[in-house]
Amino acid sequence: MTLPTLHNTGVLYRRILSQFPQDFSLAFAYGSGVFKQHGTNQGQMEKNMLDFVFAVDDPVTWHTMNLLQNRKHYSILKLLGPTKISSIQNDHGASVYYNTLVPVDGKIIKYGVISTQSLIDDLLHWRTMYVAGRLHKPVKMLLQNENGKLRAALVANLKSAVTASFLMMPESFSEEDLFLQIAGLSYAGDFRMVIGEDKSKVANIVTDNIQHFRILYSNILRDCPQVVYKSLQGKLEVDKSPEGQFDQLMALPRTLQQRITKLVDPPGKNRDVEEILLQVAQDPDCGAVVQQGISSIVKSSSITQSIKGIATAGLWKTVSYSSKKLIKMWKGSRTKPSVSQMS
């Protein structure tokens, strides 16, 4: 199966990408500057910062070239050189190195650099869910090379998002309810949702982008043996039997299985993962346990990546970026969508 992507290689994106070393295995744009969100108009959208993620096979070489081309993008950490920058990228937080509030071609952008191997690891195993979570939602794929492992991991990540969401849903639900659940996975446990993010962010992402979510997920839903997908009515029915839930739990990414095991298994018992998941599958609170497991992954990575972001952005940019987020959160709290908009 080929991952469905929302191709947009318009002049703006091509011009921005041309400012960087071209050794990408994957490049995509995401966020409120790329996709319209509920409650924003075209004028506001055009003022929003554009967010990018660049996956590269060799971060040391890429940062070496980028420091020559775009030295001003980096904080004082540029003095440490490309090897140390790559080490900070790979060994701390969510294995992403962000440069933020960067002026490029008349726009303000933020771009994160991640190694191809770290990206594949996150997509397959949800080690941090940091970039994997962004890819649960519609993104604009700008460049993608022929790396077969990466292509397979991108599809596996979407399937995992569906499986985890099924476990947290009732037996019958709407397409929109599912997409709200999927979009919310990477915000569960994120401390920035308490302070720094608009509380209605998930609903805002989904409400005006239902068709984009369908493009991403319709083939996966049609091919899934555990769900009845009535695409014309936008309704779904999922197998909630203990056997069905056990199959879903066994298909979850490895890190999430480990977090669930840690939550359920008393210290010192050291039971087999399969035995523990069989117990969880029969628990009426199965969905809540899965939710807790996801929250524990997201919480730790969001905190460590944000701490790292202070160093990679520099203090002034961190203060500026954070204040913009707080203003956005305050505005969002004054214009919360109604229940009918969210359901």
pLDDT tens for residues 261-319? 999 987 777 789 999 999 999 999 999 999 999 999 999 878 877 787 787 776 555 55
Residues 183 and 200: their CA atoms lie apart, in Å, by 12
Cα separation values, 81 from 74, 77, 124, 211, Å: 11, 8, 31, 44
Residue 161 near residue 136, CB atoms below 8 Å? yes
Whole-structure pTM value: 0.86
pLDDT at 200: 81
- The token pair that represents 75 in the structure block: 């904080």
- The token pair that represents 162 in the structure block: 């569906």
Taking the CB of residue 342, how many other CB atoms lie within 10 A of it?
17
pLDDT at 189: 67
DSSP 169: S
Instruction: Determine the residue type at 40.
Output: T
Instruction: Give the burial class of 256: count Cβ atoms within 10 A of its Cβ; 0-12 exposed, 13-18 middle, 19 or more buried.
Output: buried
Which residues partner with 29 through β-bridges?
Answer: 52, 140
Residues 228 and 293: their CA atoms lie apart, in Å, by 26
pLDDT at 326: 43
- The token pair that represents 50 in the structure block: 């554009």
- The token pair that represents 101 in the structure block: 């509030």
Residue 32's nearest CA partner among 314, 331, 308 is 331
Q: Is the dihedral of CA 170, 171, 177, 180 positive or negative?
A: positive
Complete DSSP assignment for 64-90: HHHHHH-GGGS-GGGGG-HHHHHHHHH
Residues 193 and 323: their CA atoms lie apart, in Å, by 14
Residues 208 and 84: their CA atoms lie apart, in Å, by 42
Taking the CB of residue 212, how many other CB atoms lie within 10 A of it?
20
Residues 53 and 38: their CA atoms lie apart, in Å, by 23
- The token pair that represents 118 in the structure block: 């770290």
Which residues partner with 117 through β-bridges?
Answer: none
Q: Please, which residues have CB within 8 angstroms of residue 65's CB and are 6 or more apart in sequence?
A: 21, 23
The pLDDT profile of the chain, 343 residues, written as one tens digit per residue, is: 545 444 444 789 999 999 999 999 999 999 888 887 877 767 777 778 999 999 999 999 999 999 999 999 999 999 999 999 999 999 988 999 999 999 999 899 999 999 999 999 999 999 999 999 999 999 999 999 999 999 999 999 999 999 999 999 999 999 999 999 999 999 886 655 544 445 588 998 999 999 999 999 999 999 999 999 999 999 999 999 999 999 999 999 999 999 999 999 877 777 899 999 999 999 999 999 999 999 999 998 788 777 877 877 765 555 554 445 444 444 554 544 443 333 3
Residues 64 and 24: their CA atoms lie apart, in Å, by 14
Q: Please, which residues have CB within 8 angstroms of residue 143's CB and are 6 or more apart in sequence?
A: 17, 24, 26, 27
